[in-house]
């Protein structure tokens, strides 16, 4: 925590719920004034379509703001719980206490939403915050800096711009909580830095999200939903379907449906479509371009380095082999793609699907298109993953009443709605003991009390 943050927090202003709500309302009004500028900044950073910004960034932030403004007061109240008979007579309560100073390190792929959503919750819970936006989206970071300066006093919320070295310097400081969104590789670095000070963390990471389609799925509707989830933000979404596992008998029909839907959504030349974003920078463009080498391209594959453009691309990866060693897989099947490339694997037996998915670390999301109840229950009960959807993709993120987060290598902790408020609050347990009576059974000397204690403990 910086000295400025410490001084501000020690004044106790953020412990006042009305002070928090006042700033959240002010933030909402300022965001509405900056709405067009935010959309323009995202378009300049990587040609993100205005509609996608409104849907996947601005709307989500507004919904979080409305929820936290409405519920902040009630969520912050002490909660009574049933007291223990051991403590008779007493009252037991759980108090929501702010952690203190929060460090929020945000990614580039949703550079507005993934700054604002955790910030709003941190403020609602009574904390101060320092934000480190991504240096890869400088236009969005610049707008965020103006918004923060207009809404919050210095020391309440501060925004720090810079590259990875700035992030490293921030991580060397002592914080009361760290909220990080990004890759699993960097997440491990953040976790290691936090461990030096025993700082609690939320890590929102990623993984190889499988999407399973069996012969009972409605193919045209499935293709429509899969294509949307893959082309939003040009595939640069942590919960996008990473690869498809398609039952052998429906492979050809599904591939035709996917191609038809891509042409319907973006036209015959996606590069000319105003509804398709670009890859964030040349480094990521080259990484994605390399994944296409020596692969069987069924659709797309076009690219333009000058625009960091890669067309939505479908790859035929053949029949899955659950016995193949992980290091023998082509690179496109090893790491999270994070781009508009969709490998398609075919399977014969449903038993092979689970073995294949379990080759990888636990994914952030799993998607299943099927009417088969037995298969649905098998996926739900036997696979470990952060969250998922049956017969759709990505939409688990859109319900603020559902906690969002990964498990294992795909993340630690969760947030959204009340889950966000709880994430940034310490549950302080208190027992208020009465003084009008004091039962003698717990005090020494203990002679002759053991039998009484054993008779009474069944009521505890």
For strands 425-433 and 90-98, give the pairing: antiparallel
Token pair for 89: 């007579």
For strands 79-81 and 210-213, give the pairing: unpaired
Q: Are 93 and 432 in contact (CB under 8 A)?
A: yes
pLDDT at 267: 96
3-state secondary structure the chain: CCHHHHHHHHCCHHHCHHHHHHHHHHHHHHHHHCHHHHHHHHHHHHCCCHHHHHHHHHHHHHHHHHHHHHHHHHHHCCEEECCCHHHCCEEEEEEEEECCEEEEECCCCCCCHHHHHHHHHHHHCCCEEEEECCCCCHHHHHHHHHHHHHHCCCCCEEECCCCHHHHHHHHCCCCCEEEEECCHHHHHHHHHHHHCCCCCEEEECCCCCEEEECCCCCHHHHHHHHHHHHHHHHHCCCCCCCEEEEEHHHHHHHHHHHHHHHHHHHCCCHHHCCCCCCCCCHHHHHHHHHHCCCCCEEECCCEECCCCEECCEEEEEEECCCCCCHHHCCHHHCCCCCCCEEEEEEECCHHHHHHHHCCCCCCCEEEEECCCHHHHHHHHHHCCCCEEEECCCCHHHHCCCCCECCCHHHEECCECHHHHHHHCEEEEEEEEECCCCCCHHHCCCCCCCHHHHHHHHHHC
Radius of gyration (Cα) for the chain, nearest Å?
25
Q: Are 203 and 180 in contact (CB under 8 A)?
A: yes
User: What predicted TM-score, i.e. pTM, was given to this entire model?
Assistant: 0.94
Residue 79, CA atoms < 13 Å, CB-side half-sphere? 13
Domains and CATH numbers, the chain: 3-205+408-427 (3.40.605.10), 210-398 (3.40.309.10)
Over its length of 460 residues, how does the chain's per-residue pLDDT go in tens digits? 566 666 666 667 788 999 999 999 999 999 999 999 999 999 999 999 999 999 999 999 999 999 999 999 999 999 999 988 788 889 999 999 999 999 999 999 999 999 999 999 999 999 999 999 999 999 999 999 999 999 999 999 999 999 999 999 999 999 999 999 999 999 999 999 999 999 999 999 999 999 999 999 999 999 999 999 999 999 999 999 999 999 999 999 999 999 999 999 999 999 999 999 999 999 999 999 999 999 999 999 999 999 999 999 999 999 999 889 988 999 999 999 999 999 999 999 988 999 999 999 999 999 999 999 999 999 999 999 999 999 999 999 989 899 999 999 999 999 999 999 999 999 999 999 999 998 888 888 888 888 888 887 777 6
Q: What is the dihedral of CA 327, 332, 337, 343, to 10 degrees?
A: -130
* Residues known to be catalytic: 204, 238
Q: What is the dihedral of CA 225, 240, 358, 193, to 10 degrees?
A: -160
pLDDT at 6: 67
Q: Can you name the residues that pair with 103 across neighbouring β-strands?
A: 130, 178
pLDDT at 218: 97
Q: Are 245 and 353 in contact (CB under 8 A)?
A: yes
pLDDT at 13: 74
pLDDT at 21: 97
Q: Can you name the residues that pair with 104 across neighbouring β-strands?
A: 131, 179
């Amino acid at each position: 925590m910086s000295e400025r943050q410490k001084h501000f927090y020690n004044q106790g202003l953020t412990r006042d719920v009305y002070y928090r709500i006042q700033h959240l309302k002010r933030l909402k009004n300022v965001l509405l004034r900056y709405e067009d500028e935010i959309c323009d900044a995202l378009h300049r950073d990587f040609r993100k379509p205005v509609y996608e910004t409104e849907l996947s960034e601005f709307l989500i932030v507004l919904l979080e703001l409305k929820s936290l403004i409405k519920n902040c007061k009630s969520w912050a109240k002490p909660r009574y719980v049933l007291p223990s008979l051991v403590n008779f007579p007493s009252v037991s309560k759980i108090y929501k206490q702010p952690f203190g100073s929060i460090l929020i390190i945000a990614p580039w792929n949703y550079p507005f939403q993934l700054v604002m959503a955790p910030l709003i919750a941190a403020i609602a819970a009574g904390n101060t915050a320092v934000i480190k936006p991504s240096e890869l989206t400088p236009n969005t970071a610049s707008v965020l800096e103006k918004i923060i300066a207009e809404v919050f006093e210095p020391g309440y919320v501060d925004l720090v711009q810079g590259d990875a070295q700035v992030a490293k310097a921030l991580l060397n400081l002592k914080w009361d909580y760290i909220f990080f969104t990004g890759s699993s590789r960097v997440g491990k670095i953040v976790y290691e830095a936090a461990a030096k000070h025993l700082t609690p963390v939320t890590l929102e990471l990623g993984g190889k999200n499988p999407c399973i389609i069996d012969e009972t799925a409605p193919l045209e509707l499935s293709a429509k939903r899969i294509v949307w989830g893959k082309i939003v933000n040009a595939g640069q979404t942590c919960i996008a379907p990473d690869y498809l596992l398609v039952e052998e008998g429906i492979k050809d029909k599904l591939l035709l449906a996917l191609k038809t839907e891509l042409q319907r959504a973006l036209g015959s030349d996606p590069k000319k479509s105003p509804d398709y974003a670009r890859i964030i920078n040349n480094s990521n463009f080259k990484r994605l371009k390399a994944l296409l080498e020596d692969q069987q391209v069924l659709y797309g594959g076009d690219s333009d380095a000058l625009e960091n453009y890669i067309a939505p691309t479908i790859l035929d990866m053949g029949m899955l082999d659950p016995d193949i060693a992980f290091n023998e897989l082509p690179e496109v099947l090893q790491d999270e793609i994070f781009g508009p490339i969709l490998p398609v694997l075919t399977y014969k037996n449903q038993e092979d699907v689970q073995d294949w998915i379990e080759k990888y670390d636990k994914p952030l999301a799993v998607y299943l298109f099927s009417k088969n109840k037995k298969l649905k229950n098998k996926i739900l009960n036997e696979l470990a993953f952060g969250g998922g959807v049956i017969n759709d993709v990505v939409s688990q993120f859109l319900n603020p009443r559902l906690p969002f987060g990964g498990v294992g290598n795909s993340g630690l902790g969760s947030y959204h709605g009340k889950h966000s408020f709880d994430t940034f609050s310490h549950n302080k347990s208190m027992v208020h003991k009465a003084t009008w009576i004091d039962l003698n059974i717990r005090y020494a000397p203990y002679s002759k009390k053991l039998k009484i204690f054993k008779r009474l403990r069944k009521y505890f």
